Amino acid sequence: MSDSDMLNRILGKAGVDNLIHDLVAKLSPSEISTLWLALSTELTSRSTPKNLLNKYATNRFVKPSDLSPLAIKRIEIAMLELAQTAGFTPVLLSPASLLGSCSVMAEVDQNHVVSAVRGVELMADSTNMLAIYLADGIKHGTIDNANGAIHLSATCRATRAQLYKSSKALPHFGLFTLVSSGKDRGSYGFEKEAMAKHVEYYVRYFGERFGQKLQVTLNLRKGYTDGSGFVDRMSARLQAIYPDVEWVVNKEATDNSYYKGLNFKISLNGQEFVDGGLVDWSQKLLGNPKERLCISGTGIDMQVMSDVPVLE
């Protein structure tokens, strides 16, 4: 049964077919939050310690990982310290993000995140909240990206609701992200600087940690007027800086509502570790077409689970 069919069945059972539409149309977000809190209070009032234990056995979102927390924390510290040395300011984010922080900006299915009460959802991707943090600072004058790009880094325990094929995949995992914010300087000035800075970080980190040659794939995405020429100029710039990296350039543009212009992926021995690229989120948040944003991220847990040998 699809989510839509299930929802229709539930609304029919409740005897209010237009309940969702009426609530959103007639109530403010704060009133809906109050209603959700009341529902949560009613549900918990009917529960018992025995019920909680039974629910724990079947709720995949609350189970701990089998990975060593010390190994995860060591990787987090190593990545954040290297990022700070490379000019990325670390930010300690909340485990909660704004409701819709993924789906509104990046058009990610809201069913793939875990929505909560009080207008928030569990953190599913820290790049979205770093983008909102930056946009808020730019709007209120506490962050200035006009005289130079701003570079941030963060780690978080991300939670995602979609079901994965692997039985070993948990809904929550460690995530390290980089975000760079700036203004359009012409001749792809920001794009060249930001992309090079992100790639340099991962080449240095994974090159030193795994001691193996990396493969970087550049994928053309729609969003820039001269897409093919843009990728040519970006790849020429990056390959000149990192001649020892294996480069793959894919100039077949695909429909992609996430990245704009260029997306890059970094792999070791055929295993993808990094995904990143240019997005238009700050343009949407601030209503300014001159805003530029580059994001990237890598899973932390997969470094512990990886078959790729790690240098001691």
Is residue 106 over pLDDT 70?
yes
Q: What is the pLDDT of residue 312?
A: 45
> Is residue 274 a contact partner of residue 245, using CB atoms and an 8 Å limit?
no
167: confidence class by pLDDT, cuts 50, 70, 90: low
Nearest of 200, 83, 206 to residue 152 by alpha carbon? 83
Checking 134-138 for CB contacts under 8 A at 24+ apart, the result is 134/179, 134/181, 134/282, 134/293, 135/281, 135/282, 135/285, 135/286, 138/181, 138/282, 138/286, 138/291
1: confidence class by pLDDT, cuts 50, 70, 90: low
How wide is the angle at C-alpha 240 spanned by C-alphas 236 and 241, nearest 5°? 120
More confident: 141 or 1: 141
Query: What tens digit of pLDDT does each residue of 247-306 get?
Result: 998 888 776 778 998 899 999 888 899 999 999 999 999 999 999 999 999 999 988 887
Model pTM score: 0.88
Residue 16, phi then psi, degrees to nearest 5:
-135, 85
142: confidence class by pLDDT, cuts 50, 70, 90: very high
What value does the mean pLDDT take over residues 101-106? 87
Q: What is the pLDDT of residue 236?
A: 87
96: confidence class by pLDDT, cuts 50, 70, 90: very high
What's the helix, strand, coil split of the chain in %, to 5?
45, 25, 35
What value does the mean pLDDT take over residues 80-102? 95
Rank 30-34, 100-104, 121-125, 151-155 by mean pLDDT and report only the highest. 151-155
Tell me the C-alpha distance between 123 and 97, whole Å: 5
